[in-house]
Structure 1
Amino acid sequence: MTGSARALVRKLKLQRQLYLLLLPAIAYFVVFQYIPMYGVQIAFKDFHAPLGIAGSPWVGFEHFERFFRSYPFWTLIRNTIGLSLYGMAVGFPVPIALALLLNQLNGRAFKRFVQTVMYAPHFVSTVVIVGMLTLFLSPRSGMINQWIVRLGGDPVFFLGSPEWFKTLHVLSGVWQGAGWGAIVYLAALAGVDRGLHEAAVMDGASKLQRIRHIDLPSIMPTIVIVLLLQLGGIMSVGFEKTYLMQNSLNLDSSEVISTYVYKTGLLGMQYSFSAAVGLFDSAVNFVLLVTVNRLARKLTDTSLW
């Protein structure tokens, strides 16, 4: 055994308890993330269940070409990227602003109460959220439309209007997740040296100036990392909520790659074709993540790796 191998064995023995704690996480990723990658090859095959994955014939990039030439391709790309960018533009700054404002609260009891109210929507089921939207926005009995009628307007079928879909999807997502997303930034703000704020107060700085010149620069690395992660998943629009809000009237605006994969793969039983679409989605996310990570490393000296 070489010296480096003996050093490695010695290190494993000294830290064996930490590695044992790490084993469940490693096992999870191996079993549920890496082993299923074996099935990705059906995207390049004409998969038939009786033949199995190994016995199905290879077709190369046929399914990818079919997807690129298909009628809904550009609609899917436009809706997926548009909904994701809209969600980031509206939803990304809100948790930062909430964290900065919460950090300025002095009353501990009031601060805890506000945090509890902000975090609570995160634990509401997506099905319940969509049910609330359906109830409040109903053109007949919905509270919003009742107000519109009282003000002299005509009822609006919000969930059946393609132009309203993205706005409702994004704003309901912000309401549900902004408070929970602020936790990361509150944790980063907790590490800011209080002496900086005390010195700024002595110099006559206002709360807004302290936020701008102390808090924001301090949490900027965290902001960059979160932004990178969101940009890296720009093609991954949540399936459950999108599918629940989807109907035949708003399909032009609500059909995204994840719902299309579900319909063609599980409902239409086109397993190879849907696997190719899903693999294309993942490949785009991977390329975007690597690209924005390099740009962030060059521009801000902060990156994921």
Structure 2
Amino acid sequence: MENLQRTSESMIDLKEKTNVTIKPKKSKLKRMWKERYLYLLLLPGLLYFIIYRYIPMAGNIIAFQDFSPFQGFFHSDWVGLKHFKTIFEDQEVIRVLWNTLYLSFLQIVFAFPISIILAIMLNEVRSSFYKRVIQSIVYLPHFLSWVVVIGIVTVLLKSNGIVNKIIEGAFGIEPIGFLQDPHWFMPLVVLEVIWKESGWGTIIFLAALSGINPSLYEAAAVDGANRWQQIWHITLPALKSTIIILLILRLGSVLDVGFEQIYLMLTPFTMEIGNVLDTFVYLKGIQNSDFSFATAVGLFKSVVGLILIVAANRLAKRFGDGGVY
């Protein structure tokens, strides 16, 4: 009887399990129609990338041609890798490439950590009022165009500018040619980037810091850790993944140091040390009408950026981090 009862109970359970209704999956088209408003919100961003990012990539074909605007894409002479070989043979390109790498290295070493330091400092401010005021002040320069920033720098640092007048009056030395001396070019560019973009860069780090459990700080304080020890053992480890992801993305644009800023800063005195790939492509491609060679340099820059992103992402995964993808 017991075995019979157990068998009947198991059959009832099996029947109940088999009677569970399985809802048919909705087709993709129906789901897309149901979420059509979300796709409409996505549409402007997709159109931007398609029109301004993907369609212009077809123009890279002229890097393999002796392109002539009068003959067009389909009738210009094919030259294969001729222009890419010239990149490594032209001494001017090698000098410009070195300037670009050196300036990008300075920005990564000096400008990139400033956003992290600033975010940690803002996170330590306990008064919400002062925190909002400071955030507004450090965010503001980001919304100024490089034309305005370079104009301010020029007014301050020109030969008869405020800075040189203070130096001359306080120390009695001759005015310094900040804008003409090649040795000042790279430091000025890095300082301008720090002043303009560091505050804006703190947004992502502050978002990461907001996800830290406050009980970790409380437990550390109970254990006798001071604020510096809490930052070192709690705050910085919490920022590790964000720092690595942003650094990987930054490496992808290592050959892109900003055309507008550099072009506005260039003078005949600083051309040798200040000319980078972006300005070189503009001067070579637009002013000298060497479209094919300029396109080859731009394509080379994009390929190098892609390789650096993939390599840095794999390296990050090897050391146990998530990476970008």
Range class of TM-score, shorter chain: over 0.9
> Which consecutive residues of structure 2, in runs of 5 or more, have no partner in the other structure?
1-24
Question: Which residue pairs with 2:165 in the alignment?
Answer: 146
Q: Is the 8 A contact 1:264 1:271 kept in 2?
A: yes
Equivalent residue in structure 1 for 2:211, among 181, 191, 201: 191
Equivalent residue in structure 2 for 1:283, among 277, 299, 303: 303
Residue type of the alignment partner of 1:208: W
Residue type of the alignment partner of 1:276: A
Question: Which residue pairs with 1:172 in the alignment?
Answer: 192
Indicate whether 1:301 and 2:299 are aligned: no
Indicate whether 1:93 and 2:113 are aligned: yes
Q: Take 1:97 and 1:14, find their aligned partners in 2: how far apart are those partners?
A: 45
Deviation digits for residues 160-182 of structure 1, max 9, x if unmatched? 11111000000111011111101
Identity of aligned residues (%): 41
Q: Take 2:116 and 2:60, find their aligned partners in 1: how far apart are those partners?
A: 38
Q: Is the 8 A contact 2:118 2:199 kept in 1?
A: yes
Q: Take 1:7 and 1:294, find their aligned partners in 2: how far apart are those partners?
A: 37
- Compute the displacement of 1:302 (Å): 2.2
Q: Take 1:152 and 1:203, find their aligned partners in 2: how far apart are those partners?
A: 55
User: Counterpart of 1:159 in 2: which secondary structure?
Assistant: coil
Question: Which residue pairs with 2:276 in the alignment?
Answer: 256
Indicate whether 1:221 and 2:231 are aligned: no
User: Counterpart of 1:211 in 2: which secondary structure?
Assistant: helix
- Compute the displacement of 1:159 (Å): 1.0
Residue type of the alignment partner of 1:142: G
Residue type of the alignment partner of 1:15: E
Q: Take 2:130 and 2:26, find their aligned partners in 1: how far apart are those partners?
A: 56
Question: Which residue pairs with 2:12 in the alignment?
Answer: none
What count of residue pairs does the alignment treat as equivalent?
301
Q: Take 2:143 and 2:38, find their aligned partners in 1: how far apart are those partners?
A: 31
Q: Take 1:133 and 1:47, find their aligned partners in 2: how far apart are those partners?
A: 40
* TM-score scaled by length of structure 2: 0.89
- Compute the displacement of 1:203 (Å): 2.5
User: Counterpart of 1:89 in 2: which secondary structure?
Assistant: helix
- Compute the displacement of 1:71 (Å): 2.5
Q: How does 1:1-305 map to 2 (within 5 A)?
A: 7-139=27-159, 141-150=160-169, 151-305=171-325
CA RMSD of aligned residues (A): 1.7
> Which consecutive residues of structure 1, in runs of 5 or more, have no partner in the other structure?
none
60-69 vs 36-45, which moves further: 60-69
Deviation digits for residues 118-154 of structure 1, max 9, x if unmatched? 1111112211111111111112x11221222230322
Q: Take 2:231 and 2:78, find their aligned partners in 1: how far apart are those partners?
A: 59
Q: Is the 8 A contact 1:224 1:302 kept in 2?
A: no
Q: Take 1:20 and 1:122, find their aligned partners in 2: how far apart are those partners?
A: 30
- Compute the displacement of 1:290 (Å): 0.9
* TM-score scaled by length of structure 1: 0.94
Residue type of the alignment partner of 1:152: G
11-20 vs 22-31, which moves further: 11-20
